[in-house]
């Protein structure tokens, strides 16, 4: 799998990240570091512990990282969750949004692992 194919698989904007980071080698280097970021794990832990302020911060951080790497689909879902958590509580919409983030994150990590293994 190429970096471009990976971006296509995860609903991300390859051309945008290439403009931002200037070359594919740099894009690959930062993309391959993404699974090591603790934001998603922190989000899951905060939700499990009903610490919605920490969940907000983790979702916000995840959104920012995704925007920097042009991981569009996950940026959009984490942004929606961030806005849902902004008031500091768990709303009716937060559950489905959290599930969407988990699905998008899983697909993203899976594609990055395929890229790494090729």
Q: Counting Cβ atoms within 10 Å, is residue 39 exposed (0-12), middle (13-18) or buried (19+)?
A: buried
Q: Report how far residue 90's alpha carbon sits from residue 92's, in angstroms, rounded to the nearest whole number.
A: 7
Q: For tokens 């991300």, what's the residue?
A: 12
Give the pLDDT score at 30: 96
Q: Taking residues 48-63, report their average pLDDT.
A: 97
Give the pLDDT score at 81: 98
Q: Taking residues 37-46, report their average pLDDT.
A: 98
Using a pLDDT cut of 90, give the percent of the chain over it: 92
Span 67-112, pLDDT tens digits? 999 999 999 999 999 999 998 889 899 999 999 999 999 999 999 9
**Residue 34 confidence class, pLDDT cut points 50, 70, 90:** very high
* Stronger pLDDT, 88 or 55, i.e. the higher one: 55
Token pair of 36 as six digits = 């090591």
- Domain annotation for the chain: domains and CATH numbers: 3-114 (1.20.120)
């Amino acid at each position: 799998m190429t970096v471009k194919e990976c971006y296509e698989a995860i609903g991300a904007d390859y051309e945008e990240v290439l403009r931002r980071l200037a070359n594919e080698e740099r894009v690959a280097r930062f993309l391959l570091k993404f699974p090591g970021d603790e934001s998603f794990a922190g989000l899951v832990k905060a939700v499990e512990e009903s610490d919605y302020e920490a969940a907000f911060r983790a979702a916000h951080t995840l959104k920012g990282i995704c925007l920097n790497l042009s991981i569009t689909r996950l940026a959009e879902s984490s942004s929606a969750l961030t806005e849902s958590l902004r008031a500091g509580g768990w709303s009716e919409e937060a559950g489905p949004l959290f599930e969407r983030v988990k699905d998008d994150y899983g697909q993203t990590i899976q594609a990055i692992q395929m890229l790494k293994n090729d």
